[in-house]
Structure 1
Amino acid sequence: MNSTSSPYRVIAVCTGNICRSPMAELMLTAALEREGLDGLVTVDSAGTTGYEAGRPIDPRAARRLAAAQLVSDRHVAREWVREWFQERDLILALDIDHYAWLSEAAPDQESLYKIRMLRSFDPAMAGLDSLDQGIEDPWYGGHADFDAVWHQIHAALPGIVDHIKSAMLGEPATSAAGLLKTVRSTA
């Protein structure tokens, strides 16, 4: 549970931290700012691997973010650090392989419950198996693939913001059934 003296902390996780997760980080940060929650919530991102550590965001992801006036030039890819299980309140996996990796690495049940598929917050994905909630890696594609990632993340933002607001007020998770379905389907 988050205390009133420290911000609620969210992290988005993909493979290399140069495409999907930094897009989610910056898009969610902007959505939270629009809701007046900047300063109360912090968002960052990481990769499950160190393959891209130290590198900037993919230029195609930067192009898509810039089209929405989101600046990404400060992003530097980094690898997940185990301590973040305790330090983050919500861990957003961008695809099922990230969810599985995080679930296996989770040191305890409390950490496991923090992990959610990002698209599980999209109402159009409600009730679907977590296997169907992933966002494919656009790195292998072109601009249209990055546009698709944008739209998939964008559709989940209102649900994520609502979840964060509820959590900050100490209310139960906005989609406990979805959380249980995600945990059970990947167990």
Structure 2
Amino acid sequence: MVDIVTVCTGNICRSPMAEALLRAEVERAGLADRVRVSSAGVSDEEHGRPVDPRAQSVLTRNGLELPEHSAHRITDEELADADLLLAMTDSHRRQLLQRLNSADAGKVRMMRSFDPEATGTGEDLDIADPWYGGSEDFATAWEQIRAATPGLVAWLQERVTTR
């Protein structure tokens, strides 16, 4: 089983949207029995909260759901068990790396690093933070997540078949 955790700040916007889309695409690719997807935040500021209503609206418009979501800070157990930690921003990536030993650093990747159209490194690959904006900001974050997902699923197909 490949264990993936999508990670943003508070686990109420970007990471839940990425989790819901990736779960659906993993299932569509026939990998649901070999890939587990969850989400978490680097902060506990939103602990226990559901998906932000604006993010939920994006998911609903795209025919997706994320039942029973409760925001939480990523745990040491999740860090240890994850095969892939998908950071939404370079700041999230750096925070994850601070909590991991150097041997596990390779399991942290930027979500947009799987988008063939995304260029650059570090902050150039950030998924836009929609929190302070309106519906158009959530649409931008969604499009960035969506653009990275096919490359991620292709990467997973390779990994799962070679294990």
Give the aligned CA root-mean-square deviation in angstroms: 1.2
Give 1:163's match in structure 2, choosing from 124, 135, 155.
155
Is residue 2:81 matched to residue 1:83? no
Equivalent in the alignment of 1:46: 40
Distance 1:146 1:37 in 2: 28
Q: How many angstroms does 1:104 deviate by?
A: 1.4
Residues 56, 73 of structure 1: 8 Å contact kept: no
**Secondary structure of 1:138 counterpart:** coil
Give 2:68's match in structure 1, choosing from 52, 70, 74.
74
TM, length-normalised to structure 2: 0.95
Give 1:120's match in structure 2, choosing from 81, 90, 113.
113
Equivalent in the alignment of 2:130: 138
Equivalent in the alignment of 1:181: none
Equivalent in the alignment of 2:100: 106
Residues 11, 92 of structure 1: 8 Å contact kept: yes
**With CA pairs under 8 Å and 6+ residues apart, which has the higher RCO, 1 or 2?**
2
TM, length-normalised to structure 1: 0.84
The amino acid of 2:75's aligned partner reads V
Q: More deviation in 35-44 or 61-70?
A: 35-44
**Secondary structure of 1:56 counterpart:** coil
Residues 34, 160 of structure 2: 8 Å contact kept: no
Q: How many angstroms does 1:52 deviate by?
A: 0.4
Per-residue CA deviation, residues 132-164 of structure 1 (Å, 9 max, x unaligned), is: 000121010010011111100000001111111
* Structure with max Cα Rg: 1
* Structure 2 unpaired stretches of 5+: none
Q: How many angstroms does 1:73 deviate by?
A: 4.1
- Over 4 Å off, 4+ runs: none
Residues 16, 50 of structure 1: 8 Å contact kept: yes
The amino acid of 2:88's aligned partner reads L
**Secondary structure of 1:139 counterpart:** coil
Sequence identity (%) = 42
Give 2:5's match in structure 1, choosing from 11, 14, 18.
11
**Secondary structure of 2:38 counterpart:** strand
